[in-house]
Amino acid sequence: MVELVMEKDHMDKLYKSKNPVVGYINRERLESIIKLLDKNKKIKILDAGCGEGHLLEKIFNKGYKNLYGADITKIALESAKKRVKAKFFLQDLGKLRFKDNFFDVVICTEVIEHIENYKKVINELKRVLKKNGLFIITFPNEKMCMIMRAAFLRNPIVKDHVNSFSVKRIRDLVNLKVESKKNLPFNLPDFLSLIHILAFRN
């Protein structure tokens, strides 16, 4: 496993960004994911690519306690362990060390665009998901994000984004029943949105 190197508190800076659009979009993404969760607080949830644990912290605060986080970045996991009580694992998402049909919910948010072998990762996430389980994936509309970054005088190209996905492409790759779809901000049409949130039922 090749460990990914990341700046300390990288995501924390995004959630607390002075740029109102960046801060709002990222906070709204987390809240939108939580609203998709089943009401049973005993469900087993995996945040695949959990980073510094911001999403798991919010889920924990809603009363869900059976939480798991997996990430390939050691420095991010160190921050996550301080942020929330959950089970954390330094793992390659393409080679998860969990049994088949282990989780009720698998979440992969703003991760897939960073992964070269994304097909293998999606298959692994589906493998560990229970029958009738919920698979939530979010990803950026890279073209519109580039335009927005340029508009705010930021570097339009994110170097560690190695893939770009459309809603149709993700639907085809996951190949499960789509339970819900939301675009951020304001549920704009796909081509105008910055982030897509898709929930699939296994």
pLDDT exceeds 70 at position 7: no
The average pLDDT across 174-182 equals 97
For the stretch 38-77, pLDDT in tens is 999 999 999 999 999 999 999 999 999 999 999 999 999 9
Which residue bears the tokens 């996905």? 165
The average pLDDT across 14-24 equals 73
Amino acid 73: pLDDT? 92
How far, rounded to the nearest angstrom, does the alpha carbon of residue 81 sit from its chain's CA centroid?
18
Tell me which of 3.40.50.150, 3.40.50.1110, 3.10.20.30, 3.40.50.300 is the CATH number of domain 10-201.
3.40.50.150
Q: Cα–Cα–Cα angle for 182, 175, 190, nearest 5°?
A: 30
Report the mean per-residue pLDDT for the chain.
89
Amino acid 129: pLDDT? 98
For the stretch 95-113, pLDDT in tens is 999 999 999 999 999 999 9
CA-to-CA distance for 62 and 69, rounded, in angstroms? Answer: 17
Amino acid 164: pLDDT? 87
User: pLDDT class for 2, splitting at 50, 70, 90?
Assistant: very low
Amino acid 17: pLDDT? 67
Nearest to 46 by CA among 33, 29, 35, 61: 33
Using DSSP's 3-state secondary structure scheme, residue 14 falls into helix
Amino acid 99: pLDDT? 97
Amino acid 162: pLDDT? 79
What is the domain partition of the chain in residue ranges? 10-201
The average pLDDT across 116-136 equals 97
Amino acid 147: pLDDT? 74
Q: List the single range of 59-73, 109-123, 145-159, 175-189 with lowest mean pLDDT.
A: 145-159
